[in-house]
Chain A
Amino acid sequence: MLEISNISLSIGRRSLVENISFNVQPGELVAICGPNGAGKSSLMRLLSGELKPTQGNVSWHGTQLAEWNLLALARHRALLQQRCEVSFDYTAMEVILLGRHPHHQGATRAIDVKVAELALAEVDASHLAGQIYTTLSGGEQARVHMARVLAQIWESSDAPRLLLLDEPTAALDPRQQHRILSIAREWAQKGDVAVVAIVHDLNLAALYADRIALLKDGRLQIIDSVQAVVTPEAVETCFDLPCVLLEHPDGGTPVMVARRGLGNP
């Protein structure tokens, strides 16, 4: 279980994250939503262990992130960053094999190659294997990185796995957005994987998440089931945008739409 207790982060005088607490269980997908500058990415950097909170702590599977062995944690926790540049002309396959580093530490085994192939197939990108990463389009690069992150925590083991996605859908077309989030959903449903994803589009989050956390000004506004969070009141306070809730013709989760004329003065 990912336990986040009373974490705050301030850099200089600026407070980026203030006193946030919540837990994420293996088997669920929690989406983090909020306006720009709400502290979503900072929160993600705290959850991955890249940054240490100035107050409070984050622990995974009962142990604080800082106490984990770097390599052991790397086998259980993977982060898809928003921007990820690759220096030098590595092929897509080599990039994914880099994601297997915690398992092989430089001595690539047959099983690592197999996992990399399966991970590429999972994101429908097997045809990209031999291509040079830097020559791929933005959407293709994003898929290769998704495959790399999945390959990193591919095997289930004694401890549960944590998949962190920082805006995995940013560079993708609508079809790919749904594909990536449904993969995230499938992984959560494996039962031993906890998924936390920053999703910009609240409707997209509502379709795939078990719970949604709304962030504003570094504070957690609400974290609850989709039904409880996706209400005109909650969205209006968080995004400062008057909204109306529509019923989806296919049933299920409602759809949020901005009121005409009210959002833009």
Chain B
Amino acid sequence: MSVLTAIPLVLKSRQLTTLRGRILLALSIALIITLIFSAGIGAVEIAPMRVLELLATPPWSAAWDSIANEDIQQAMVLWNIRLPRLGLGILTGASLAVSGAAMQALLRNPLAEPSLVGVSGGAAVFAAIGIVLGGSWMAALHAVIGEFALPAFAFIGSLGVTVFIFAIATRQGRTSVALMLLAGIAIGSLCIALIGLLTFVATDVQMRTLNFWSLGSLGAATWPMVGMVACLSGTSVAILLRQTGALNTLALGEVQAQLLGVSMRRLNRICITCIAMSVGAVVSVTGIIGFVGLVAPHLVRLAFGPDQRLLMPASAFVGAILVLLSDLLARSIAIPVEIPVGIITALLGVPFFLALLFRMRSRIGL
């Protein structure tokens, strides 16, 4: 249009992009600092500078052999215990936060969260079924796909619940927050009951695993686990982050999103699968760590607004930082006892949830 070409183009959108870049850069720096500090805290203390030095000498490098004898314990702790745990923490926080943000955009309300609506519960139940009742099946599956056997089970549960929640909460393009939350309560209770039921047929070892699931913990982290979650959740999160533009249009409702050229069927399918996959993978190794998907996007929205293009990547960083800090608290407030991290995130998250509920009380309705 002639009017448009006559006016010199303002650089506003480029400024927006650089602003987005700066915020994400700042958050990633915050994440790295959190990582370095929490890597040093625990039963074996390592100073932050020492953490950096040890990070520069990985076990596969020649420098590893030259580490002094009195330092080798620190190096072992860092590389074999702390780092896989922190890696799993970052992946967990990022996947739960991004999945939460995506669910909130799809269901058009800020209360949708994987653990609240039962998606994490579904994943935990199926993973538990895999462990307790899987028997020789599970063993065979494990022989073929190794670390991926458990998340495969969990995925069935998380996908089933996600599809169910979407089916029950949305009708003719509108979402009922009340129905979503009520269905979530029902599914949540069912999952607790089922896991409880499984404890009666479980062996002692299995029972410990089951307990840890219902509360959530990063304590069992190993490198292969981190690799598996990085593969599954990493891919899902990457795909979800590509949908941000389309998810934005959903703020106007499904009808308008469709009229704006977004294929809702396709978007729903992609997002539901990715949410189920990333939550399933995480839950299969950490158990239910709740509220991260609620708190992280909410904090980002408060600080930088609702634009999904910034909200989702920023939530990934904030979620990772939240989980790292919660885990730090979980393993350091009652040394030598370790509190499940899920308890900490619930203690932090419930007030947030109630505050949100209070603000939305006029809009929820039954």
Contact = CB atoms under 8 A, between A and B. Distances in A.
B28 interface: no
A115 B12 CA distance: 12
A94 interface: yes
A87 B112 CA distance: 13
A201 interface: no
B1 interface: yes
Given A106-B245, A110-B13, A88 B110 contact: yes
10 contacts: A48-B259, A94-B305, A98-B251, A101-B261, A108-B13, A110-B9, A111-B4, A113-B12, A114-B9, A152-B260
B245 A85 contact: no
Interface in B254-275: 255-256, 258-263
Nearest to B255: A50
Interface in A5-51: 48-50
A250 B73 CA distance: 95
Given A105-B245, A113-B12, A81 B309 contact: no
B246 interface: yes
Contacts of A50: 255, 258-259
Nearest to B254: A50
B334 interface: no
Nearest to A113: B12
Q: Give the interface size bracket for B toward A.
A: 35 or more
B253 A85 contact: yes
Contacts of B256: 79, 81, 84
B1 A156 contact: yes
Contacts of A101: 245-246, 248-249, 260-262
A86 B263 contact: no
Contact of B252 (A89, A95, A107, A118): A95
Given A88-B306, A89-B305, A74 B252 contact: no
Contacts of B335: none
B255 A87 contact: no
Nearest 6 A/B pairs, CB to CB: A106-B245, A74-B261, A88-B306, A71-B261, A87-B108, A110-B9
A113 B259 contact: no
Interface in B8-33: 9-14, 16
B331 interface: no
B4 A106 contact: no
B248 A87 contact: no
A77 interface: yes
B263 A70 contact: yes
